[in-house]
Amino acid sequence: MSIDSVFVHKMWDDHELSKMVKGGVPFPMLSDAGGRVGRVFGVYDEDAGVETRGRFIIDPDGVIQGYEVLTPPVGRNVNESIRQVQAFQLIRETKGAEATPSGWRPGKMTLQPGPDLVGNVWKVWKTDMAFD
């Protein structure tokens, strides 16, 4: 979503993005004239009149589980967004019985928070597990 019109979105997709992604962008490119939606989400820059690089993870109940906002020159890490969605999906499936420690990605160990784990995380989780 940006403040550009849907016509500009079409031009961008036709003339540039479709040369990077076969068939063009598969998801909706949304237009937010005047930044009315961006303002509500806290990502509209009133001085510049544009939206910053905000990214919101919204779960199936419509609840915001996480967000990230960057200034314009730095691009996002899509892998990290996907990793976070996978983590939130696992938490949802296990109804909160499991938690994903720092550096978790699918296949890595999870933690089961409870009285026995208090003060004992060091026995099962090592700091090098925070890194790939």
Partner 1 sequence: MAKEVKVGCARPTGGPVGEKVPEKAQGEEKQQKEVSTMIQVGRKAPDFTAPGYRQGKFISVQLSDYLGKWVLLCFYPGDFTFV
Residues that bind partner 1 (CB under 8 A): 1-4, 6, 8-13, 16, 23-32, 37-43, 48-67, 72-76, 81, 85, 88-89
Cα–Cα distance list, 32 to 35, 40, 51, 68, 91 (Å): 5, 11, 9, 19, 32
Exposure class string for 79-94: b at 16+ Cβ within 10 A, else e = eeeebbeebbeebeee
Residue 70 near residue 52 (C-beta atoms within 8 A): yes
User: In the complex, what is the shortest distance from the CB of residue 116 to partner 1, in angstroms, rounded to a whole number?
Assistant: 26
Which residue, 48 or 97, is less far from partner 1 as judged by CB? Answer: 48
User: In the complex, what is the shortest distance from the CB of residue 45 to partner 1, in angstroms, rounded to a whole number?
Assistant: 8
User: In the complex, what is the shortest distance from the CB of residue 100 to partner 1, in angstroms, rounded to a whole number?
Assistant: 15
How many residues does the structure list for the chain? 132
Which residue, 55 or 129, is less far from partner 1 as judged by CB? Answer: 55
User: In the complex, what is the shortest distance from the CB of residue 109 to partner 1, in angstroms, rounded to a whole number?
Assistant: 23
Which residue, 70 or 129, is less far from partner 1 as judged by CB? Answer: 70
Which residue, 71 or 127, is less far from partner 1 as judged by CB? Answer: 71
Alpha carbons 51 and 34: distance in angstroms, whole number? 10
Alpha carbons 26 and 56: distance in angstroms, whole number? 18
